[in-house]
Amino acid sequence: MSEKPSSQLSSGTRETGSGMLRFNALKPGTNAAYSALFILLALICIVPVVFVIVISFSSEDSIKQVGYSFRPVEWSIEAYRYVWHLRNTRGIPTVVLAFLTSVGITVVGTLLGLTLISTMGYVLSRRNFKLRNLYTTLIFIPMIFHGGLLSTYVVNVQLLGLKNTYWAIILPLACSSFYVIIMRTFFQTTVPDEIIESGKMDGASQLRIFVQLVLPISLPALATIALFLTFAYWNDWYQASLYIESNMHDLFPLQYVLVNIERNIQYLANNDMAMSANTNVLPSETMRMAIVVIAVVPIMFSYPFFQKYFISGLTIGAVKG
């Protein structure tokens, strides 16, 4: 049986490769259309954020003259200066203290939530766990029926004694039935049973198998859940309004403080007596945009830390050619 010369093989490979390139290549018109579409979608996402930032640095007089505009008549940092000058009884800026509080709550809550959700999801994904169907049903029920605000408040305040503590803000959001079901499904469909069995054959405990074998290959799912938990904790102000009394200023998260600032400014703007005395110097319109910037921009910088795991998550189950 004769063998083809290497030159013929290489030329055939080049022809096949060039054929695939021609097959996968886009026409110039199609390429330009896709590029224009993606640029448009990017602008739709970016332009509103830039617009809000520009308005937050505009002066109140500029808002009154030309309204919301990308080119304000006068630039000003009065809105941020007003927020910075709001201080507690110890002279610490209220926004700074609330920002640090939110960072701590977000970090602790996200780590605690990941621990609870991943461990529960892993246990429920093991077929040799005899009570997994029972516990899966119990976890699934809160997704359909909720206990209600009154019963939740009674449990957290009277039974657990969480009122006026950081745990009152952290624990209610730490574990979600929906996220547990997602992690259980991920472990069942993505983590091969052979990896678990190999760990058992080597004499590893279940905890060691979970930490050293399962978690490293579950980073895409963990990153997704972590990002959702981070957004939930950072944007939450409702738990503080329920469980933190108004005189406990050191426990207020950032979102709760910003909501209170917005409410106070709105009250002064709607009160005739207060309007003549105060609102002439309050940057009410630009303050709203400054509050949005303070609340949104810090959390935007957390996405790059999760981006590579999202990209790797998109390739799970892909088949190489």
The domain locations on the chain are 91-282
Tell me the whole-structure pTM to 2 decimals. 0.78
Burial profile 121-145: b = 16 or more Cβ within 10 angstroms, e = fewer: bbbbbeeeeeeeeeebeebeeeeee
Partnered with residue 93 across adjacent β-strands are 87
**Six token digits for residue 203:** 């004499």
Q: Give the mean pLDDT of 81-100.
A: 83
Nearby residues of 261 by Cβ (< 8 Å), 6 or more positions away: 83, 86, 287, 291
Q: How far is 262 from 93, CA to CA, in rounded Å?
A: 17
**pLDDT category of residue 104 using cuts at 50, 70 and 90:** very high
DSSP three-state, residue 295 = helix
Pure H helices in the chain:
6-24, 28-56, 60-66, 78-85, 94-125, 132-140, 149-154, 167-174, 177-190, 193-201, 206-209, 219-235, 238-243, 254-270, 272-274, 284-300, 303-314
- Tokens, residue 252: 């207020």
List CB contacts of 18: < 8 A, sequence separation 6 or more. Answer: none
What average pLDDT does range 24-48 have in this prediction?
Answer: 84
pLDDT at residue 224 greater than cutoff 80:
yes
Q: Which one-letter amino acid corresponds to residue 237? A: W
Residue 101 has pLDDT above 50, yes or no: yes
What is the domain class of 91-282 according to CATH?
Answer: mainly alpha
DSSP secondary structure code for residue 141 in this structure: G
Q: What is the spatial distance between Cα 172 and Cα 192, in angstroms, rounded to a whole number?
A: 33
Is 320's pLDDT higher than 50?
A: no
